Amino acid sequence: MIRQFALFLAAFFCLAPALAQDAPAAPPADVRVALDTSAGRILIAVHVARAPVTAANFLHYVDQKRLDGTSFYRSVGSADYGFVQGGAQNDPRRLLPPIKHEPTSQTGLTHDDGALSMARYAPGSATGDFFIVLGKMPGMDAHPEAAGDNQGFAVFAHVVEGMDVVKAILAAPKSPTAGEGVMKGQMLEQPVKILTARRIP
């Protein structure tokens, strides 16, 4: 009996490495990024597992320091509801190639309070500009059943600390004349600088 048990243990330990190799790998953890701005720090969790294309694009901008010295320049809404937009502002010296669109219907992420999402024109045109949502904005999610451009915007991260800073940016004075088209009256009188954007442990 003891000999049989010993043989069983030996066989189990021989098989254990093979069993471990067959186990599915754990999904990558969120990556924390600190946006240090002239209004304070915004700490975000970038969802690399759920929005791999969009998250990787944002992290390329962070790692290459392409967001350092940019700003939050647009504010839509007031109090606790709206969004603020920032980033490269189409500066050709900062831009990386556009990325494939990742709709919320694919990622399962939504435009809820604190969500970060990519600014874009047509689907697949997003580069280095993003916005942060205050409140819930389901209208920005993908709606495949709707007519026209129904792909929504690509959520890739959420604020985990610093929503007070986001609210302060939302409430900052806007210029009545700056901006073109729908953006007229939505541009901040004094843009809020993004001093640095860095990964943190």
CA–CA distance, 7 with 1 (Å, rounded to integer): 10
Residue with token string 């069983």: 8
CB-count burial class (<10 Å; 0-12, 13-18, 19+) for 181: exposed
Q: Specify the pTM.
A: 0.85
Alpha carbon 91 to its chain centroid, in Å, reads: 20
Chain segment 17-76, per-residue pLDDT in tens: 443 455 566 667 999 999 999 999 999 999 999 999 999 999 999 999 999 999 999 999
C-alpha 165/C-alpha 195 separation (Å) is 14
d(CA 90, CA 111) in angstroms, rounded, equals 23
Structure tokens at 112: 């809820």
End-to-end CA distance of the chain: 52
Q: Whole-angstrom Cα distance, residue 148 to residue 131?
A: 22
Mean pLDDT of each 10-residue bin along the chain, 201 residues long: 38 38 71 98 98 98 98 93 96 97 98 98 97 97 96 98 98 91 92 98 86
Where do the domains of the chain lie?
31-200
CATH class of 31-200: mainly beta
